[in-house]
Structure 1
Amino acid sequence: MVGPAGQGQGSQQGESKARPGQRRIALWTRDYARLPGIPDEYIGPDGAPRPAWSRFLDAFAALSPGEIERRFASADRHLREAGVTYRAPGDTADRIWPLSHLPLIIDEADWAQLTAGIAQRAQLLEMVLRDIYGDGRLVAQGAIPAAAIAGSSEYLREVCGVKPPGGRYLNLYAADVGRGPDGRWWVLSDRTQAPSGAGYALENRLVLSRAFSTLYKSMNVERVAPFFEAFRDSLRDSADRDEPRIGLLTPGNFSETYFEHATLARYLGFMLVEGDDLAVSGDRIHIRTVAGLKRIDVLLRRVDSNSLDPLELDASSHLGVPGLIDVLRKGGVAVANMPGSGVLEARALLGFLPGLAWRLLGEELLMPHIATWWCGQKSAREAVLSRLDDIAIEGAYGRGVPGFPGNDPVLASELPAPERERLTRAIDERGIDFVGQELVRLSTTPVWENGRITPKPFVLRVFAAATKNGWTILPGGFCRIADQADARAVSMGDGARAADVWVVSDKAVRASTLLPAVDTVRIRRIAGVLPSRAADNLFWLGRYLERAEATLRLIRVLGSSMRDPAKTDRASSGLPSVERIQRLLVTWGAATQTSRAQSAKVAAEALQSEERFGSALALIRTALRTATSLRERLSPDAWQVITEMSERLAWEIDDDDGVVSTAELILRDLASFAGLAQENMNRAAGWRFLDMGRRVERAINTMRFARQFAYDEAGDEDLDTLLTLVDCQITYRSRYLVAPLLAPVRDLVVLDTYNPRSAAFQIQSLNDHIAALPSLKEYGMIERPQRLAVAVQSSLTTAEVASLDAKSMFSLEQEMLQLADAIGLHYFPHGPNASRPEKLTGLA
């Protein structure tokens, strides 16, 4: 706490900085001018700066220019290190999230008017949905034309008459808004399908509030945690048991907004699931876990309605759950939002909402929307055609205009004569597919560019959650800012950026958190069930990283041989160990061919080739893609290690030393990741599958190394190479005061259970992991993975080093490969085995 003395000191400091601060503000705003006829967030209708923005700039100017740049850099660094990404439409790769360094600022009085309109609109749309899929009185009484609803692909006859479990059609509603010509907030579009952006709004807040923590507190910014808490509680209330299991249904890591799905799942404490993770049994939905099928009670969906059930909806969909709609009919699962709710996103319905507000609510809409004429009605169609040059043409039911490329509105005034005639004819012949909308230019907000602020158009997405106390509005939202000054719409494509939204108050704001009160928390020591897909990805993440480590060790030994003149001479004449390393790299798909005279070239290819699937670069990138599917389960540090490895391997390397140095750096990064997993991950099933992947891959690679370099006629050089590859040089020298000999090297590398790099140690660890996992079958027999692991361990435990030869080592390697396959088939079923019937009794 700061007492009166502290306040006085701050006041004196503020006075001493007032003059330079005012000069900086004058410099920042010198060229700032509101666009003609366009409302602006910084300059009010009277031409003066809005009070909230003046408060912000006064506090902002108290920071030195160097401090401001450091804070901006801190925010950018957090976005990179945390891997905050998105994928623009048409992209195949993720981009770093483009966050504006200045927030959108709205004062609480202005926000109160906006939230009243959003809450009213959400309630109206809930009532419309209830009628569309229920009694159908609005259509029967002529309040809505039937064609305006039935023309939408989002209208699902399959859910007509189905009462939503939990009682809500809309659990989460969002509206894109902007200031209209009169300075009031206007609705640009409704989002009722599966509104996106709340997770990014949360991430924006985390980044900017940390970068400018003192400024954030001094502005009395309304907190967002209570909204998410209320939303989470409302989903829990929609279930039919006290401690429901809630899943966030995602299309997967190829979704444009997958990062947001992972963020929300982690923040809200939900399970992140894909359609393949779920199965129907009886009248319930279950999630496939490594402990069998477990009941799931609520699904917060981020999959479009038509893709939810290939049995009753889109048969080509691989994103949904076969039989989900039937379970919904039986009340076996609550789905938020209710399938079919996307019908209200159709622009065809916009023109009817004012009349529906009077009919259903007995009041006019508090917040207007863009004037819209649906061309499915003769009078509206004629009105649109009569003033075609003054309005924009949009599709009535989706993005883009039917028959015209792209997703943007079509302006007839800008079309060539033949295209204009084609548009006119299409509207006249099939007006049901088109709407005309008033031309609207977006209002603007300040953006920091080159040390000054400049106005840029923006769209604000405001979120409303249905709770037991009515509609709760997120105090802030998801703001998208366009790069062009005359943008009519904004999507997260080229040039667009996002901004945090600060709803500011003159009074102090109570700090809040999503964490519940201590006395309401049920003590747990296990994080919950582990979905089979997550276990699969963790297992393969461990295998890919261990495979990369083995490849890097080969590269390091091969590259180091070029540094030693004696070894270089022997390599050029065919040193056996060098040839064997090169053959291994070719066999593993890391290099194309061996070359006695060009070991450095082989090493460089194995390190950085983008064409070779077994190169270190390819393996680390594959591990990164796998880790992307585990965003909600990996710590920021672990994620950062993997991304940095991928970036470092893509750097240009000029010389042979650079190849070896890079391999050594990546090996250290891999050790860092292993340390993070060992020390920071909870000892639950997730950690076990990650470690099992590492152990099984290390066992296989160790046996391959042993076969190649500890063969019956192996000499000192081969054995020394083997000890280097398995990182056992120090251990061997501490035990044996002689040069490498075949028998002790074989024992150390293959049979020694005290050596953490030996094959026997890996099998022992695998046995411990498998024994700790839940049994999937209930007839008391030992299951195949454990049976194989016990058999291999028994072979290694009872083997004598004198009996080890190339044939027996190859046999052990094959048994380890079989064990790896058995783990995959048992815990991660695919294809026709995906609907696993085990453990259907006593479902939790």
Structure 2
Amino acid sequence: MKIEGYNASDHYDEMFTETGVIRQHYEEFSQGLKKIALKKMNHLQFSANQTQKAMGMTFNVYHDNQGLEKILHLDIIPRIIPNEEWLHLESGLKQRTYALNLFLQDIYNDRKILKDGIVPEELILGSKDYLKPCVGLTPPKGIWCHITGTDLVKNKDGEYYILEDNLRCPSGVSYMLESREIIKRAYPDIFNQKGIRPVSDYPAKLLRMLQHLSNKAKPVVGVLTPGIYNSAYYEHSYLALQMGVELVNGVDLIVEDKKVYMQTTKGLEQIDVLYRRIDDVFLDPRTFRPDSMLGVPGIFEAYKAGNVALANAPGTGVADDKAVYAYVPKIIKYYLGEDPILNNVPTYLCREEKDRKYVLDHIHELVVKETNAAGGYGMLIGPKASSEEHAKFKELIKANPTNYIAQPTLSLSTVPSLTEEGVQARHVDLRPYILYGNEIEVIPGALTRVALKKGSLVVNSSQGGGSKDTWVLYN
């Protein structure tokens, strides 16, 4: 199958080799795609968009002055990952998750890794995400990071690189699940023939993991949401519904005798496990921010007393700081005695004088990131930025070097995507979801985010990116 005007020569394309030959894991799909006319493809895309709207698959963009809810555009052409490639990713993600959990337990207790000088003490203890109320705590079952969404990219060398770890309240899994249902209906014949690993059991696995955190035989589980104005509220309500548990706001909960109760029509009911989608500092106005209207007064004391489990555990944010990210290979080696299976992107820490000088001298070649920003904000893509933007970021780095890191500009891999000009190559990243309960499990699918604009490397939904269904093959 040859696609008219398709360019896959200056980067790694996941469907075509540099010479235009179809990669083996895409061959069956391309045969089925041949039978679908472009007009039919456009009709399928329109139907997918309408289905998303009907299902309420929308999100708010906080930085959008119009304040409108938008759908996360689902591109109709799936991304396909061969089984051998996925198994490599799976082993690397399990290794990384296990090591980061040991790191969190250590830095809030013995601090051996800091005393041994592997990670700078001031980087951790001086971080705004290092929560002093968590010092000395061990979460239920010793697990800190229960739900992780790790972002990866495939570079032009065909290798995957870890871009960042999301250990706080990673979002997007509902889009992974619902996108699968939409795409299955778009290509029923192709889907049934290919042998694609399912993702539909994620809610059941998530519930089992949450129940594992309690010592009760039948624990009561809930999803704690900030409310309907949160950008990911659709996901909160979707997951609560799929798990068959209560969706609660802070005002629905009350703490008595260091136990958390839901207010129901039949009176108070104790809740044992909360999948919280509220940021750490808003959880409890008595312990963290006193002006928080989202949290539950006294919930942190209930947590410390062991009467409620929280997923993810408060305090995990310090481990996915972009400056700490640079030390994860050393963290893996320190705790596990192993080399990382998946590599980091080479990272320059602007807090280090040598690195800072290199970044300032080569800013036009690098991607500069604010260490605590998310959603594609606080970032400069040097090769695509203006000289004015270069100058602005140089001043920001000089004023607060600890707040910035820099990385080489990667040539993200591309996947065929349906655009107004027909099927074109668009850059993608990958966010697999990892659950840590009785064991560490990587869900055999992922949220693939796609940059919808030609040549763009920014895939974040808040910056105009879209998504794809991700097919992981059995063999």
**Matched residue, 2:4:** 30
In structure 1, stretches of 5+ residues that fail to align are 1-24, 507-844
Following the alignment from structure 1 to structure 2, what is the Cα–Cα distance between the partners of residues 297 and 400?
32
Counterparts of residues 342-381 of structure 1 (less than 5 Å): 342-381=317-356
Counterparts of residues 682-831 of structure 1 (less than 5 Å): none
Superposed displacement of residue 63, structure 1: 4.5
Query: Is the contact between residue 148 and residue 376 of structure 1 (CA under 8 Å) also seen in structure 2?
Result: no
**Matched residue, 1:444:** 414
Following the alignment from structure 2 to structure 1, what is the Cα–Cα distance between the partners of residues 19 and 256?
64
Instruction: List per-residue Cα deviations over 1:547-604 (Å, max 9, x = no partner).
Output: xxxxxxxxxxxxxxxxxxxxxxxxxxxxxxxxxxxxxxxxxxxxxxxxxxxxxxxxxx
Superposed displacement of residue 109, structure 1: 1.3
One-letter amino acid of the structure 2 residue matched with residue 294 of structure 1: E
**Matched residue, 1:672:** none
Are 2:18 and 1:49 aligned? no
> Are residues 387 and 495 of structure 1, via their aligned partners in 2, closer, same or farther at CA, if it must alter by over 3 Å?
closer
Are 2:445 and 1:472 aligned? no
Instruction: List per-residue Cα deviations over 1:258-307 (Å, max 9, x = no partner).
Output: 11111111112221111111111112111111111110010111111111
Instruction: List per-residue Cα deviations over 1:658-690 (Å, max 9, x = no partner).
Output: xxxxxxxxxxxxxxxxxxxxxxxxxxxxxxxxx
Query: Is the contact between residue 235 and residue 298 of structure 1 (CA under 8 Å) also seen in structure 2?
Result: yes
One-letter amino acid of the structure 2 residue matched with residue 371 of structure 1: P
| Structure 1 SS opposite 2:268 | strand
* Aligned residues with identical type, % of pairs: 27
One-letter amino acid of the structure 1 residue matched with residue 118 of structure 2: A
Richer in strand (by share): 2
**Matched residue, 2:468:** 499
Query: Is the contact between residue 366 and residue 381 of structure 2 (CA under 8 Å) also seen in structure 1?
Result: no
One-letter amino acid of the structure 2 residue matched with residue 408 of structure 1: M
Which one scores higher on RCO, CA 8 angstroms, separation ≥ 6? 2
Following the alignment from structure 2 to structure 1, what is the Cα–Cα distance between the partners of residues 118 and 9?
40
Superposed displacement of residue 127, structure 1: 1.1
Superposed displacement of residue 336, structure 1: 0.4
TM-score by length of structure 1 reads 0.53
> Are residues 429 and 341 of structure 1, via their aligned partners in 2, closer, same or farther at CA, if it must alter by over 3 Å?
same
**Matched residue, 1:408:** 379
Following the alignment from structure 1 to structure 2, what is the Cα–Cα distance between the partners of residues 102 and 423?
37
Counterparts of residues 240-639 of structure 1 (less than 5 Å): 240-399=215-374, 407-409=378-380, 411=382, 414=385, 416=387, 423-424=393-394, 426-428=396-398, 430-450=400-420, 452-468=422-438, 470-493=439-462, 495-506=464-475
**Matched residue, 1:607:** none
Following the alignment from structure 2 to structure 1, what is the Cα–Cα distance between the partners of residues 139 and 359?
38
Are 2:47 and 1:77 aligned? no
Following the alignment from structure 1 to structure 2, what is the Cα–Cα distance between the partners of residues 381 and 61?
51
Superposed displacement of residue 78, structure 1: 2.3
Following the alignment from structure 1 to structure 2, what is the Cα–Cα distance between the partners of residues 66 and 400?
34
State the aligned residue count: 473
Following the alignment from structure 1 to structure 2, what is the Cα–Cα distance between the partners of residues 343 and 125?
10
Superposed displacement of residue 463, structure 1: 0.7
Instruction: List per-residue Cα deviations over 1:712-741 (Å, max 9, x = no partner).
Output: xxxxxxxxxxxxxxxxxxxxxxxxxxxxxx
Superposed displacement of residue 324, structure 1: 1.3
> Are residues 389 and 98 of structure 1, via their aligned partners in 2, closer, same or farther at CA, if it must alter by over 3 Å?
closer
Of the three residues 55, 59, 67, the one matched with 2:32 is: 59
Superposed displacement of residue 494, structure 1: 5.7
Instruction: List per-residue Cα deviations over 1:482-516 (Å, max 9, x = no partner).
Output: 1223323221136422111111234xxxxxxxxxx
> Are residues 237 and 413 of structure 1, via their aligned partners in 2, closer, same or farther at CA, if it must alter by over 3 Å?
closer
| Structure 1 SS opposite 2:461 | coil
Query: Is the contact between residue 329 and residue 344 of structure 2 (CA under 8 Å) also seen in structure 1?
Result: no
One-letter amino acid of the structure 1 residue matched with residue 74 of structure 2: L
| RMSD across aligned positions (CA) | 2.3
Query: Is the contact between residue 151 and residue 432 of structure 1 (CA under 8 Å) also seen in structure 2?
Result: no
| Structure 1 SS opposite 2:142 | coil
Instruction: List per-residue Cα deviations over 1:90-132 (Å, max 9, x = no partner).
Output: 2422123421111111111111111121111111111111111
**Matched residue, 1:139:** 114
> Are residues 100 and 413 of structure 1, via their aligned partners in 2, closer, same or farther at CA, if it must alter by over 3 Å?
closer
Query: Is the contact between residue 14 and residue 415 of structure 2 (CA under 8 Å) also seen in structure 1?
Result: yes
| Structure 1 SS opposite 2:344 | coil
> Are residues 399 and 68 of structure 1, via their aligned partners in 2, closer, same or farther at CA, if it must alter by over 3 Å?
closer
Superposed displacement of residue 67, structure 1: 5.7
Richer in helix (by share): 1
Of the three residues 214, 227, 230, the one matched with 2:205 is: 230
> Are residues 97 and 373 of structure 1, via their aligned partners in 2, closer, same or farther at CA, if it must alter by over 3 Å?
closer
Following the alignment from structure 1 to structure 2, what is the Cα–Cα distance between the partners of residues 281 and 195?
30
> Are residues 319 and 44 of structure 1, via their aligned partners in 2, closer, same or farther at CA, if it must alter by over 3 Å?
farther
Are 2:88 and 1:88 aligned? no
Are 2:110 and 1:111 aligned? no
**Which has the higher mean CA deviation after the structures are superposed, 381-390 or 239-248?**
381-390
In structure 2, stretches of 5+ residues that fail to align are none
Query: Is the contact between residue 346 and residue 398 of structure 1 (CA under 8 Å) also seen in structure 2?
Result: no
Superposed displacement of residue 214, structure 1: 2.4
> Are residues 284 and 493 of structure 1, via their aligned partners in 2, closer, same or farther at CA, if it must alter by over 3 Å?
same
> Are residues 63 and 385 of structure 1, via their aligned partners in 2, closer, same or farther at CA, if it must alter by over 3 Å?
closer
Query: Is the contact between residue 395 and residue 433 of structure 1 (CA under 8 Å) also seen in structure 2?
Result: yes
| Structure 1 SS opposite 2:215 | coil
| Structure 2 SS opposite 1:241 | coil
Query: Is the contact between residue 375 and residue 462 of structure 2 (CA under 8 Å) also seen in structure 1?
Result: no
One-letter amino acid of the structure 2 residue matched with residue 217 of structure 1: N
